[in-house]
Structure 1
Amino acid sequence: MSSQTIEFFRSLFDSRLATLEHLLKSAQAHLGDSDALLQQRIAPDMFPLGTQIVFTCNQPRNFALWCEGKPADNLDPEVASMGVAYEYLSATRQLLAGITAADHQLAEVTRINLGQGLYLELSGSAYVNDFLIPNLYFHLVTAYDILRMAGVPIGKRDYMLHLVPFLKHEPYEDRK
């Protein structure tokens, strides 16, 4: 991977973690500091918000570990407090900040153990693009949906926070 590719993925993962942190802070501002929110879920057979936060963190975390040639190491999926959730976000962002990788990693085959004897073998490129990023968005969107369901007044602008720095405002006279 070139340093530009690494920086692109590092930036993408970091900005989505910043979005998740923003969403959680919005929830606390609206609902208070109740840790009970972490147990909310969309459906009985889905993981609760706390686990969605962990699974969102696990994708960039395992990307950073992969860049360093280390095995995947998922966080504990049981999140008992918002403090732990913020610690996971902070630790994951710190891990991302220090990553390095070599160009050849994109072509190398990576084995992803899925549990119960199941695994995938993917190129490094497919690992990032077809496994980590889709999983990141799945769990981030699920966390967003749980917060919306709980009544947190967030919207698309909150979810797409990474675009706010590029937002421009057309002068009124040019809108006609």
Structure 2
Amino acid sequence: MSNPRIQQLQQLFVSRLDTLSHILQVGQAHLGDRDLVNERLAPDMLPLGAQVAFACNQPRGFSQWCAGQPIENIDPTTVASLEDAHAQIADTRARVLAISASDAKLDEVKRIGMGPGRYCELPGDLYVSEYLLPNLYFHITTAYAILRMLGAPVGKADYMRYLGAHLRHDG
């Protein structure tokens, strides 16, 4: 049975996780083994390790929802090193690739907690497009911005590297 919508989401999630991994690798190569996971953009923002955890929690939660499992998020305090960050990304990537749900899953309604006493209910397609993807991009962008602020030579080409397969050259 072909599940093109689910397969498309798997490819999207995997490519963005690969982007996050790449950005971290560039940061580590340029900045060394310093305590990068505790760096922040601002004092009231969560550190790099938490940004990685929250970025992973989006596709991870999707994979758990597709499997009918309770959503168990990564505790951001457990990403205490870049090695931990890469391990969480690899685990999340494997979970996404293991999704075997049918496209009909995206028509089901998903209840999303929005803080104490608040929630919304969205069909699966909107759960992905209006909740998961914006959160995923926010946390990848924040991780990128932390590394950029510290002087890592990451740029838009690193952030949007998933477009590499579609690049063409004139001439």
Report the TM-score when normalising by structure 1.
0.91
Deviation of 1:102 after TM superposition, in Å, equals 2.5
- Cα deviation, 1:135-170, whole Å, max 9, x if unaligned, reads 001111111111100100110000001011222222
AA matched with 1:49: L
Q: Tell me the equivalent position of 1:142.
A: 142
Aligned-residue RMSD, C-alpha: 1.2
Distance 2:44 2:149 in 1: 16
Tell me the alpha carbon deviations over residues 81-130 of structure 1, each in whole angstroms, 9 at most, x when there is no partner.
11110110000001011101133322222111234232221111111111
Q: Alignment partner of 1:59: what SS?
A: helix
Q: Distance in 2 between matches of 1:106 and 1:32?
A: 42
Q: Which residue of 1 aligns with 2:112?
A: 112
Instruction: For 1:156, give the aligned amino acid.
Output: K
Q: Deviations over 1:45-100 (max 9, x none)?
A: 11111100010000010111111111211001112111110110000001011101
1:45 maps to what in 2? 44
- Residue 57 (str. 1) matches residue 59 (str. 2): no
Determine helix, strand or coil for the equivalent of 2:76.
coil
- Aligned equivalents of 1:120 and 1:84: distance in 2? 32
In terms of mean alpha carbon deviation, does 101-110 or 69-78 score higher?
Answer: 101-110
Taking the aligned partners of 2:70 and 2:136, their CA distance within structure 1 comes to 18
Larger-Rg structure: 1
How many residues were matched structurally? 169
* Residue number in structure 2 paired with 1:155: 155
Where in structure 2 are there 5+ consecutive unaligned residues? none
Partner of 1:142: helix, strand, or coil?
A: helix
User: Aligned residue for 2:29?
Assistant: 29
1:53-92 matched pairs, under 5 angstroms: 53-78=52-77, 79-92=79-92
Q: Which runs of 4+ in 1 moved over 6 A?
A: none
Q: TM-score, normalised by structure 2?
A: 0.94
Q: Distance in 2 between matches of 1:102 and 1:163?
A: 27
* Local SS of the residue matching 2:41: coil
Unaligned runs of 5+ in 1: 172-176
| Counterpart in the other structure of 2:169 | 169
